Amino acid sequence: MRYNLFNQTGYIIRFYLRRDRFLIVGWLILIVGLMGGAAAKFDSIYGTKAALASIVTTLKTPAMKAMFGSFTAKPPYTSAIIYASEMMVFMGLVFAMMNIYFAVKNSRTEEDNGTLELIRAHSVGKLSPLIAVIIELFVINLINGVLIAISLEFAGMTGTDILGNCLFGLGLAAFGFMFGMMSLLVSQLANNSRGATILSYLILGFTYIARMLTDVKNTNYTWITMFGLIEKLEIYTENNWLPVLYMVLSALLLLFVTIFASTHRDVAAGLIPTRPGRRNASFLLANPFSLILRLERISLIIWTCGLFVLGISYGSIFGNIGNLLKTNPSVAKLIGSSAIKSSNHAIILNFAATLSVVFAVIATIPAVITILRINNDEKKGWLEQIHARGISRSNIFFSYIAVALLCEALCLLVALLGMGFAGMSAKDPVSLLRFLRAFSGYLPAIYVVSGIAALFTALFPKIQNIVWILPIYGLFSMYFGNLLNFPKWAKQLTPYGWVNRVPLKEVQWNNGVVMIGLTLGLFLISYLIYSKRDLLES
Amino acid sequence: MSEKILEIKNLQKKFGKFEALKNITFDIKKGEVFGFIGPNGAGKSTTIRILLGILHANGGSAKIFGKDVWQSAVSIHKRLAYVPGDVYLWPNLTGGEIIDLFLKLNQQRHSARTDELIKQFDLDPTKKVRTYSKGNRQKVALIAAFSTAADFYIFDEPTSGLDPLMEEIFQKNVMHLKNEGKSILLSSHILSEVEKMCDRIGIIRQGKIIETGSLDDMRHLTRTVFVLETQKPLESLSQLEGVYNFKPVLDKEGVNKATFTVDSENINSVLEKLVAYKIISIQSTPPTLEDLFMRYYNQKEGSR
């Protein structure tokens, strides 16, 4: 008799890989493109000794440690070492996101849809679907890792070696797989896919912030933070394989706990129980606006708190930055200001200006999710009953928009406030109000992004997800734009690049008014298109 | 002639090149229960979604309360209640919350009638929708619809997830609305339900309305089933005009027993000729809706 826990696993793996092939290729292009594209450019940016020396000083500052991880390499420096140090944390983040995406999609979402039930009703082992997801994640990470190693080998930066390239690729793969297993475990605990995604990102965010704080305060502790393991590979210098072993062991441990948890629960049930809810609607729940607010309540709270904590974490290192940067004016190149003002304020504000873009981009994410929900909820059939009532399409459309605009404004505000409050601990603090310049400066820009998202929702409902390019490219161009010497136009492709360096500079009010006008125009056009087309069917 | 609640004329809808609705024409009068039947994919739900202003028709006109369903969707919906066959609701709200929300969206309140309906349908309103079965989600929509004071009710296969007990409660509530003089459009596959409650019926097939009328009207258009036993052999009977589906039952002595159907317009002439065969026993059954249904559904395209 065959051991029937694992019956048909091979078939399910092939089915999953086949079904996800376009998504897998999409992530591959994104990841390998980012890695290879940057690698091809690094030699020309850091070709001279002077450029290398200046970037090393920069990377050793706390602000840069907070963003890119600690810089531990010893001289002689090469562009490969700089590359490894700048890319590692960011790519780790991208790998973790890819793994959370596939892990939740192929485990918890399948259960929510009821697909898993159908599969399990056939002669398929109890554990087969789960094992299939695990192997699929393993394969995806491995392909990504190998292709990264190959692309690095081809890019041929000065200072690379085949061992380092392999370690880079496989290290990221192991790191991704570890977070994939974490997310699979979370999928067993949560009782729906949305909850599983939120919880996975919370854990990722927590490890990221822990990594940042240990990097700035004491790098000896970085490796405990799970996220920090990836910084200990010391690629192109020591080529340390030990962290890969740690990551694989952690992944195995998580894997066994996941399998244990999965065998101790029913399909479609979570280990976190559900409580009975309200018998009647509260008086607040009375129209589409309050309904959407109520549905988004949990994620709204999580995004707001998350951004507040992120703001506090960055703000808390302002004290370190003010002191050190004073002696390292070359950092100004990286932060992008041409004026090398050596006052602490200017340095802090300059760093704050870079962070503000990051906050602005992150604050757009919940808003774009909410706007795209207009079609996503429609497809799920949730809105059919609302359309059948005396509720106009404009009411529904603008309710989603209003929740989105409110949410992103709140997220941006709390992130800046968190940064400002925590920044008070610096020796010579900058006033809180000054940071709010970034709010007035970036709010119109992120509203334009929301306007574009609304236009996609109305005009191209089937391919609306393309709009995610805006925040992804926005973050990339703003985060790496200066390091990779992006031309000005390349940074201005997204609305994030249309804002000057607030809070360092004055707010350009006339610029803001134009963007608000543009936003209103986009919403109006979107609504006109939306009100005239068929709604989506499930 | 009484007031028309719903008026559909030559309604057409295309999805790309596919013609989902080719020609839909029917009316519903005030106080009438109209049964809308047809095979899967015939265009019932598409028609209903156009009536709700969710889809935009490509041609023809549809009016509810004399107003265009697309232009005046909001004002029409204030006097309308709708229950779809597949009810999808927000998984993280409770049934009770959603019922109240639906009532509020029509500027109405949770009433004693609502509580009574919750009790009748035996729904636990404190549970999150995530934990509800299909039938329970349908109950949420049904309770909200029945406790909404409207003039026109649209039900699209509303009982597909309900057990027979709940189906009966559904029928009771529809009859209650009927007695109050409300108008109802009921799309259903449960023919006994349609037969019991509907005043008139419309049959849709491949995007066209192929028949409308009361069940009695339709019976005239169809065939009666006969089971006949005679002393003389029956074979030649199948040659008669108006006799169809002739199925002989073979005995030792030859064919003395058979079942067949007769067109309504030929019944008289066929019966006159039957006497010659020396009848031992004869049974006739009037066509049920099911027979009608099967006859229309099995028709090949263009045979009518």
The pLDDT tens digits of the residues spanning A327-346 come to 455 555 555 444 444 557 77
- Mean pLDDT over the full length of chain B: 88
d(C-alpha A156, C-alpha A171), whole Å: 19
Domain that holds residue A147: 1-272
Q: How far apart are CA B156 and CA B185, in angstroms?
A: 8
Dihedrals φ, ψ of B22, to 5°? -100, -45
Domains and CATH numbers, chain B: 4-218 (3.40.50.300), 223-286 (3.30.70)
Question: Which pLDDT tens digit goes with each residue over A344-393?
Answer: 777 788 888 988 999 999 999 999 999 999 999 998 889 988 998 889 99
For position B301, what pLDDT does the model report? 46
Q: Mean pLDDT over residues A122-142, rounded?
A: 91
| A346 & A464 share domain | yes
Domain boundary among A214, A239, A272: A272
Q: Are residues A138 and A252 in the same domain?
A: yes
Do A181 and A293 have their domain in common?
no
Q: d(Cα A151, Cα A165) in Å, to the nearest integer?
A: 9
CA of A200 vs chain B CAs: smallest distance (Å): 19
Is the pLDDT confidence value at B220 over 80? no
Contacts of B73 in chain A (CB under 8 A): 387, 392-393
Q: What is the 3-state secondary structure (H, E, C) of A387-398?
A: HCCCCCHHHHHH
pLDDT score at A538: 60
What average pLDDT does the segment A257-278 reach? 78
Residues A159, A55, single domain; the answer is yes
Please tell me which residue of chain B has the smallest CA distance to A297: B92
Q: How far is B259 from chain A (nearest CA, A)?
A: 43
Helix axes A344-379, A393-423, angle to 10 degrees: 150
Residues A300 and A172 in one domain: no
Q: Which among A507, A476, A502, A506 is positioned nearest to A490, based on CA atoms? A: A476
- Kindly report the nearest CA distance between residue A391 and chain B, in angstroms: 6
Verify that A224 and A293 share a domain, yes or no.
Answer: no
Using the CB atoms, write b or e for A485-522: b if 16+ within 10 Å: ebeeeebeebbbbbbebbbbeebbeeebeebeebbeeb
A191 contacts in B (CB within 8 Å)? Answer: 130
Q: Is the pLDDT of residue A323 over 60?
A: no
| Residue contact B82–A385, C-beta within 8 A | yes
Residue A160, pLDDT above cutoff 70 = yes
Whether B298 has a pLDDT exceeding 90, the answer reads no
Structural domains of chain A, count: 2
Among A272-281, A448-457, B198-207, name the one with the lowest average pLDDT: A272-281
Q: Is B82 on the interface with A (CB under 8 A)?
A: yes
Structure-token match 């948890």, residue found: A261
Return the bridge partners of B258, or none: B228, B248
Which among B86, B106, B128 has CB closest to A390?
Answer: B106
Residue A491 has which token pair?
């940074």
Average pLDDT over residues B220-243: 82
| Contact with chain A for residue B107, Cβ under 8 A | yes
Q: What percent of chain A has pLDDT over 90?
A: 46
The answer, yes or no, to whether residue A190 has pLDDT greater than 90, is: no
Per-residue pLDDT for B217 more than 60?
yes
- Residues of A in Cβ contact (< 8 Å) with B105: 286-288, 386, 389-391
Average pLDDT over residues B68-83: 92
- Of A240, A272, A304, the position where a domain reaches its end is A272
Residues A11, A147 within the same domain: yes
Are B50 and A353 a contacting pair, CB within 8 Å?
no
The whole-angstrom separation of Cα A238 and Cα A242 is 11
A294 and A214 within one domain: no
Residue type at A373 in one-letter notation: R
Do the domain assignments include residue A279?
no
A280 inside domain: no
The total number of residues shown for chain B amounts to: 304
- Domain edge (last residue) among A272, A297, A331: A272
Mean pLDDT, residues A70-95: 88
Residue B304: predicted pLDDT = 39
- B86–A381 CB contact, under 8 Å: yes
A32 lies in some domain: yes
Residue B128, strand partner residues:
B94
The alpha carbon of residue B282 is apart from the nearest alpha carbon of chain A, in Å, by 50
Residue A277 lies in a domain: no
Q: Are residues A245 and A172 in the same domain?
A: yes
On whether both A267 and A293 belong to a single domain, the answer is no
Identify whether residues A254 and A294 lie together within a single domain: no
For residue A334, the model assigns a pLDDT of: 56
Question: Which residues are registered as beta bridge partners of B209?
Answer: B204
A454 in the same domain as A365: yes
Q: Distance from A264 to chain B by nearest Cα, in Å?
A: 19
Residues of B in contact with A392 (CB under 8 A): 73-74
For residue A17, tell me if it sits in a domain: yes
Residue A64 within a domain:
yes
Q: Give alpha helix (H) positions in A193-287.
A: 193-217, 242-263
Within a 13 Å sphere around the CA of A162, how many CA atoms are in the beta-carbon half? 0
- Taking the Cβ of residue B242 and every Cβ of chain A, the question of whether any pair is shorter than 8 Å is answered with no
- Whether A263 and A252 have beta carbons less than 8 Å apart is answered as no
Among A268-277, A429-438, A444-453, top mean pLDDT goes to: A444-453
